[in-house]
Amino acid sequence: MAVFKLLVGLGNPGSEYENTRHNAGAQWIEALARQSQCSLRSEKKFFGEFAKAYIGGEECYLLIPTTYMNLSGKSVQAVCQFYKILPEQVLVIHDELDIPPGTVKLKKGGGHGGHNGLKDIISKLGNNRDFGRLRIGIGHPGHASQVASYVLKKAPTEEYDQIEKTIDESLRYCDDIVRGELSNAMNHLHSFKA
């Protein structure tokens, strides 16, 4: 049985946000959908782009909320309620300021670290923090006052390439991740540097 039934990639909808740092999670899900040969389709009742996929022999669901980042929980909550998915069966893929571009970290549970998408998901899942996180490093601009504009900008080419390589590398371990065989994925990904 799949440990993660729902894989959620965070981002903002609309062409102006495409390929911005904040959309790294959404990019990851788009790449996974291509790899799994399934099509993400707009699903009104889930407030997002949605697909059913078979990963590592397991049936699971892919989701990119189209609610804007700060309301991501509305979309996650809708899918979880419809399919009776528990918070610990959810993996959220998101951009992470606290790790540099070209790095990726995987963990179960934890706080929101100031990430508004995670904050909303935690509140909509009844303050449950047990979901998994795949954190794609985007680096920090250096000062808290610069964070909002930094995450909504496209990364320079070199950084963008590092983020893409991180996405590609972590997708190689997707079967393990979905099945909950996290230690192998963590051992490799936590020492990976694009």
User: What is the arithmetic mean of pLDDT over 28-35?
Assistant: 97
pLDDT digits (tens, 9 = 90+) for 95-138: 999 999 999 999 999 999 889 999 999 999 998 999 999 999 99
User: What is the arithmetic mean of pLDDT over 53-81?
Assistant: 96
pLDDT above 80 (res 153): yes
68 is in an annotated binding site: yes
128 is in an annotated binding site: no
* Integer CA distances (angstroms), 108 to 32, 37, 159, 177, in order: 20, 27, 26, 11
70 is in an annotated binding site: yes
Q: What's residue 97's pLDDT? A: 94
Alpha helices by DSSP H, the chain: 24-35, 72-83, 116-124, 147-151, 157-171, 174-178, 182-189
User: What is the arithmetic mean of pLDDT over 72-90?
Assistant: 97
Question: What are the extents of the domains in the chain?
Answer: 6-189
One-letter identity of residue 66: T
Average pLDDT of the chain? 94
- Under a CB-based contact definition with an 8 Å cutoff, are residues 66 and 45 in contact? no
Listed residue (175, 171, 75) closest to 189, CA to CA: 171
pLDDT above 80 (res 54): yes
- 10 Å Cβ neighbour count for 58? 16
pTM, to two decimals:
0.96
Third-level CATH fold of 6-189: Rossmann fold (3.40.50)
Q: What's residue 2's pLDDT? A: 61
Active site residue 22: yes
Among 22, 94, 140, 143, the active-site one is 22
- 180: confidence class by pLDDT, cuts 50, 70, 90: confident
- 31: confidence class by pLDDT, cuts 50, 70, 90: very high
Tell me the HSE value of 154 on the side-chain side, using a 13 A CA sphere: 9
Name the pairing type of β-strands 132-137 and 90-96. Answer: parallel
184 is in an annotated binding site: no
pLDDT above 80 (res 77): yes
One-letter identity of residue 178: V
